[in-house]
Amino acid sequence: MIRVRGVIPDSIGAELGIRTGFELLSVDGRELEDFLDWEYLTAEDAFVVRARTADGELVEYDIERPEGEPMGVQLEPPHVRRCGNRCDFCFVDGLPSGLRDTLYVRDDDYRLSFRYGNFATLTNLKARDVRRILEYRLSPLYVSVHATDPVIRRRLLRNPRAPAIIPQLSELAAGGITFHTQIVLQPAVNDGDHLRQSLRDLYGLGAPVLSVSVVPVGLTEFSKHYRVREPNAEECRAAVEAVQEHQKRALAERGRRWVYGSDDLYYVAGIALPTAEEYDGFEQVENGVGSVRYLQQRVGEARSDLRVLTGMRVAVLTGTAMSRLMPEVAGTVADATGGTFDVVAIENGLFGPSVTSAGLLPGRAILGALERCRGYDLALVPAEAVNDDGIFLDDVSLEEVRTRSPIPVRPSYDFADALHAEDHS
Ligand code: SF4
């Protein structure tokens, strides 16, 4: 059963009389469990929906709809699948207490992997889930592999029951499923020869493995430092070497580099970032792989659309990771707009200085920085630090930041979104 959260006016659902609070029970006799069932089973032009109204009355809708017209029925979100692992580097363990409850949920859900690109380990898949993935063609999936050796992977995940990942991926791949994968690097556990072996094993699965990212483990002040540490420069350099070696092979054999180090990996290693072309389309940019080059590319492409800011001073607020790399990007934007862009690095007051990502900056730290920003005409704040409801991780709202800031504030992912020429507000 899935509950209706809303119905778009004038849609097919509204015309049928489906209302908020109705329970959708089945489509063509097949019971509904979540949004996947609904989307897949109502993809046909004709089908029968059984539902229960808010008064408990059972109704049946015999639906024929014009091709491509959406039903207009919005569903309540599914219960998120909980994670059965206990990784030492889990970000949830690294959270301070007192944040909103939803942040402490360890999700490991293949449905969210398919829909939103969340990485899942697949360790909690049941036979029925595998059938659904294959039937609904949930592809590509984003999979946290970490290590292909089952013993090492179980140790990393702290889950003695974690199934071997290569047979799992092989079975899904045989059914036409593809994957973007990641290896979170934990020094002295899955680096060195283990990393090379993991890359060989994943490469050996052929075309279904679309990409691999190699990301150094990231910890906060609250993480289990007695059990896990971040890789040092030498360890990151060794990982970059392994990535580059494998890239050569993949490029020669498949025309793509296939494996990519995250920006952090290069930064800690002290090695210059690859060029934009070397990311082959930025398939894992959301995972911090190629973010800087992507940003530069976006700004370059949007050059002619950026509004003229001649004489204006703009403060660009960001995390300490991006601030090291941002001056290069800010220079490109300054050339394109005629404005002056100063990068303001903000230390993470919630998780500690080791957390350097702009997306994890709390609202209070941003407000504190804004209050110190004098002589600016505009401030850009990282849009990725705000959720869909306009709230930062520490429950401060963007609205509050805007109200209390001494200068106008715009959330921005990539400059181009905040400095578009048509937007003169
Ligand atoms: S897989 Fe590991 S890192 Fe991810 S939620 Fe579970 S315990 Fe945390």
**219-273 pLDDT tens trace:** 988 899 999 999 999 999 999 999 999 999 999 999 999 999 999 999 999 999 9
* Cα 91 to ligand 1 centroid, rounded to whole Å: 7
Q: How far apart are CA 104 and CA 91, in angstroms?
A: 9
Distance of CA 41 to the CA centre of its chain: 27
CA of 406 to the centre of ligand 1 (A): 40
Q: Count of alpha carbons within 13 Å of 132, Cβ hemisphere only?
A: 21
Name residues contacting ligand 1 (CB within 6 A): 83, 85-87, 90, 92, 106, 108, 121
Q: pLDDT-based confidence at 378, cuts 50/70/90?
A: very high
* Cα 233 to ligand 1 centre (Å): 25
- 108 C-alpha vs ligand 1 centroid, how far in Å? 7
Q: Is 308 helix (H, G, I), strand (E, B) or coil?
A: coil
* Closest atom of ligand 1 to CA, residue 86: 7
Task: Tell me how many degrees the CA angle 127-129-135 measures, rounded to the nearest 5.
Answer: 105
Q: Report which protein residue has its CA nearest ligand 1's atom 5.
A: 106
Nearest 5°: the CA angle 89, 92, 95 is: 105
What pTM, to 2 d.p., does this model score? 0.89
- CA–CA dist 206, 178 (Å, integer): 10
Encoded amino acid at 11, one letter: S
The residue type found at 221 is E
- Which atom of ligand 1 sits closest to the CA of residue 89? 3
Task: Convert the pLDDT of each residue in 91-102 to its tens digit.
Answer: 999 888 888 888
Distance 139 CA to ligand 1 centre (A): 21
Q: What is the pLDDT of residue 275?
A: 95
- Report which of residues 77 and 135 the model is more confident about: 135
* pLDDT tens by residue, 156-175: 999 999 999 999 999 999 99
| Pair of tokens at residue 177 | 């499923």
Question: In terms of pLDDT, which residue wins out, 396 or 356?
Answer: 396
Q: Note whether 298 and 272 are within 8 A (CB).
A: no
| 247: β partners | none
Ligand 1 pocket test, pick from 93, 108, 125 with the greatest ligand atom count within 8 Å of Cβ, gives 108
Compute the distance between CA of residue 298 and CA of residue 417 in angstroms, rounded to an integer: 10
pLDDT at 425: 47
pLDDT digits (tens, 9 = 90+) for 406-423: 999 999 988 878 877 555
Distance 313 CA to ligand 1 centre (A): 42
> Rounded mean pLDDT of 335-345?
88
Q: Can you tell me whether residue 204 is helix, strand or coil?
A: helix
Pick from 127-131, 323-327, 374-378: least confident: 323-327
Distance 203 CA to ligand 1 centre (A): 24
Residue 85 near residue 157, CB atoms below 8 Å: yes
DSSP state of 18: -
Best probe residue, ligand 1, of 106, 118, 227 (max atoms within 8 Å of C-beta): 106
| Residue at 343: amino acid letter | V
Nearest CA to ligand 1 atom 8: 90
Q: Ligand 1: which of 80, 82, 88, 90 to mutate, judged by most atoms within 8 Å of the beta carbon?
A: 90
Nearest atom, ligand 1, residue 92 CA = 8
Give Dmax over CA atoms of the chain in angstroms.
67
Please tell me the total number of residues recorded for the chain in this structure: 425
- Distance, CA of 366 to CA of 382 (rounded, Å): 9
Segment 185-199 shows an average pLDDT of 97
- Please say if the pLDDT value at position 49 is more than 80: yes
Question: What separation in angstroms does the CA of 43 have from each of 11, 28, 132, 274, 416?
Answer: 15, 12, 15, 42, 36
Ligand 1, atom 2: nearest CA belongs to which residue?
87
Please tell me the number of Cα atoms within 13 Å of 221 on its side-chain side.
10
Q: Please give the number of the atom of ligand 1 that sits closest to the Cα of 144.
A: 1
Which residue owns the Cα nearest ligand 1 atom 4?
90
Q: Pick from 204, 215, 153, 209: which is nearest to 181 by CA?
A: 209
Q: How many CB atoms lie within 10 A of CB 408?
A: 11
User: Which range has the worst mean pLDDT, 41-50, 179-188, 209-218, 323-332?
Assistant: 323-332
The C-alpha atoms of residue 11 and residue 331 are separated, in whole angstroms, by: 48
Site of tokens 């990151």: 236
Query: How is residue 57 annotated by DSSP?
Result: -
